[in-house]
Amino acid sequence: MKNIIWLASFPRSGNTWLRYVISSLLEQADAAKIDIIPTLHCANRKAIEETLSFSVSLLSVEEVNNFRPAVYRQWSKEGTQRPPLFIKVHDCYAKNENGRHIFPSDVTQATIYLVRNPLDICVSYAHFWGLDNYDKAADLICDKAHSLPANNIDLFGQIYQHIADWSANVDSWCNESKIPVKIVKYEDMKHAPLATFSNIVEYLNLPYTEDEIQSALQHCDITKFQQQEAEIGFGDRPYGGDKFFRQGKVNVWQDKLTKHTVNKIVSCHNAMMQQFGYLNDAGDPI
Amino acid sequence: MQTYHYNICGLTVEFPWKIDYFPTSNQTPDVFIQFGVASPPSKEVMLYQGPYCQVAPNHFFLSIDNIANFMVRDGNLITIEPQGNIDTDSLKTFVLSSCLGVLLIQRNLLVLHAAVLKKNGKTVAFGGGPGCGKSTLSALLLKSGAGVLADNIAVICFDNKTTAMTLPSFPNIHLWQSTLDKLAINGYNSKKIRPEINKYVINIGADFVNTPQPLSSLCILSPWNKREIHFEQITGAEKIFQLTNVSFRTKITRGLGMDQQHFKHISALSNTINMVKLSYPQDWALNSTLINHIDEYLFK
């Protein structure tokens, strides 16, 4: 049954915000609580091990990737009585060593892929990892081997995910994937939230009115999440990192990044930044 | 074929391989591990089917691509059907984790994802989800003078209605290479768990506690991203929730038709032990502070 909706993105592109809004709609809750993680994560190690019935810590990364399609098919099978199964993804869209797509098309209803300006991601990512300068974050988003977690002792209860560099991640889902993908720009979510989220809801054929979407957006206001994070912390943030729920502003890079860091990112991601309108005709960031 | 008898979780287990450092037994085997044909249960009796396993009362079948098919029957038999040229260490690894855990559930024992350590005469289990730091904490406590009963699978039986006894599993702990390097654990033999995995079996020798011990506390490990180390008492229905959460393979337990027994066990355990939640930062710089807090709160 095609009942999985992948919520995919490079990290720090609005994925958690989208998850909370969708979760708020599904549960019709009065308020979103950040200690209740909304929707499944494709890398949730506990859920994966319960499904496999053996530990992934006994397997190589390649072996785990070979098992992943069957895990997601099982989740699809077990989720048939519910609304669509929303699953968060940061991996790039790729095949495993067996030549099978890790995210199988036969159980996929759709994908929402969130794209955000990599210059703004750079600022956010530096704070997320607690890096002491933005250039190090630029190196991460230009690294073709970029992965989460960075090593085996910082698993955060997740399996290894191959993120790849920003361009490869975006290109894999938006241009190369074999499943239906709706591309949503983070900047549109910020500038016109009601219209953008309504558009997502309509695309997914979810039965929610504009009033309900507006209400969900109010429940998921970032200031409310910031207050909760200050009180109880947030599990998806690595130790040593800054706040998970930051300001999420658009074009914050203009006040933060040096010319050197901007040039590094633009040079690395020129083609894909052009495709999504983050560069002007002269190739300069907008 | 030569066989070897070892004492594991209070049982004499017959293996087709020699296993270094495991305590030997001269008793008649309770459990047999052997090579043979592993087959799934028939569809008529099957209660759970996962992508790689099929489960019925007293019958668990696991098929792991390129490794082996395993069958666990009646709480006393594990059959291994290797695939291709799979190495012995890989087979041992899966037998001593997934298969043994299921066999112990079939024997009506309570199996938790937890490390169990003894220090200052008190035995404490440290449970939590995968990656919460059980093995690293075991190694830290081992370095601080604790003895180890179990690293990952805690097996609990009830002597009577008021005492939960935890059974010693294996004389080893599993650590990633990077953790081993950081902890600088010396004086123990170690070996890779599987040739292609950078994780090691550390044989802890005399630091293994090889007799059953009354369990005094269960500590739920809950890493967070704050600097504080915080203990919180778990009470009421939250105890049942947390015990369910750290129970070994709940879907398999249901497939074995053992869910009612499992609920009785966790209800009994919730009434007999102290339960706390430990929120802590996974920060190597704070390890000694963490151990001091645990000593003070749980082992004093």
| pLDDT tens digits, A113-138 | 999 999 999 999 998 888 889 999 99
- The answer to whether residues B88 and B129 belong to one domain is no
Q: Domain range for residue B72? A: 4-106
DSSP state letter for A279: B
Question: With contact defined as beta carbons under 8 Å apart, do B166 and B192 qualify?
Answer: no
Percent over 90 (pLDDT), chain B = 82
pLDDT digits (tens, 9 = 90+) for B185-224: 778 889 999 998 889 999 999 999 999 999 999 999 988 8
Sole residue written with tokens 């504080």:
B228
The mean predicted confidence, pLDDT, of chain A is 89
The verdict on residue A189 lying in a domain is yes
pLDDT digits (tens, 9 = 90+) for B242-292: 999 999 999 999 999 999 999 999 999 999 999 999 998 878 888 899 999
End position of a domain, from candidates B75, B106, B137:
B106
- The answer to whether residues B102 and B115 belong to one domain is no
Contact state of B51 with A46 under an 8 Å Cβ cutoff: no
Contact state of B174 with A57 under an 8 Å Cβ cutoff: yes
Q: Count how many domains chain B has.
A: 2
- The answer to whether residues B287 and B152 belong to one domain is yes
The verdict on residue A283 lying in a domain is no
Q: Count how many domains chain A has.
A: 1
Q: Domain range for residue A250? A: 4-275
Q: Is B149 helix (H, G, I), strand (E, B) or coil?
A: strand
Interface residues of chain A, partner chain B, Cβ below 8 Å? 45-46, 49-60, 63, 66-67, 70-71, 73-74, 151-158, 233-235, 237-241
Contact state of B51 with A57 under an 8 Å Cβ cutoff: no
The verdict on residue A284 lying in a domain is no
The verdict on residue A86 lying in a domain is yes
Contact state of A157 with B129 under an 8 Å Cβ cutoff: yes
A-B C-beta contacts closer than 8 Å? 95
Contact state of B130 with A49 under an 8 Å Cβ cutoff: yes
Chain B: residue whose CA lies nearest to A98: B65
Count of residues in chain B: 300
- The answer to whether residues B46 and B186 belong to one domain is no
- The answer to whether residues B62 and B171 belong to one domain is no
The verdict on residue A169 lying in a domain is yes
End position of a domain, from candidates B52, B84, B106:
B106
Question: With contact defined as beta carbons under 8 Å apart, do B79 and B36 qualify?
Answer: yes
Q: What is the CA radius of gyration of chain A?
A: 18
- The answer to whether residues B160 and B119 belong to one domain is yes
- The answer to whether residues B40 and B80 belong to one domain is yes
- pLDDT for A153 beyond 60: no
**A65 to chain B, closest Cα gap in Å:** 12
| Residues from chain A contacting residue B238 (CB–CB below 8 Å) | none
- The answer to whether residues B146 and B222 belong to one domain is yes
Q: Determine the pLDDT at residue A34.
A: 59
Contact state of B131 with A155 under an 8 Å Cβ cutoff: yes
Contact state of A153 with B178 under an 8 Å Cβ cutoff: yes
The verdict on residue A285 lying in a domain is no
B176 touching A, CB under 8 A? yes
- The answer to whether residues B129 and B76 belong to one domain is no
- The neighbour count for residue A95, using CB atoms within 10 Å, is 12
The CATH number covering residue B248 comes to: 3.40.50.300
| Residues from chain A contacting residue B249 (CB–CB below 8 Å) | 50, 53
Chain A: residue whose CA lies nearest to B60: A53
The CATH number covering residue A109 comes to: 3.40.50.300
Question: With contact defined as beta carbons under 8 Å apart, do B150 and B180 qualify?
Answer: no
> Quick one: residue B108, left, alpha or beta (phi over 0 = left, psi -120 to 50 = alpha)?
left
Contact state of B53 with A234 under an 8 Å Cβ cutoff: no
Q: Determine the pLDDT at residue A37.
A: 63
Q: Determine the pLDDT at residue A89.
A: 97
The verdict on residue A221 lying in a domain is yes
**B161 to chain A, closest Cα gap in Å:** 30
End position of a domain, from candidates B89, B106, B123:
B106
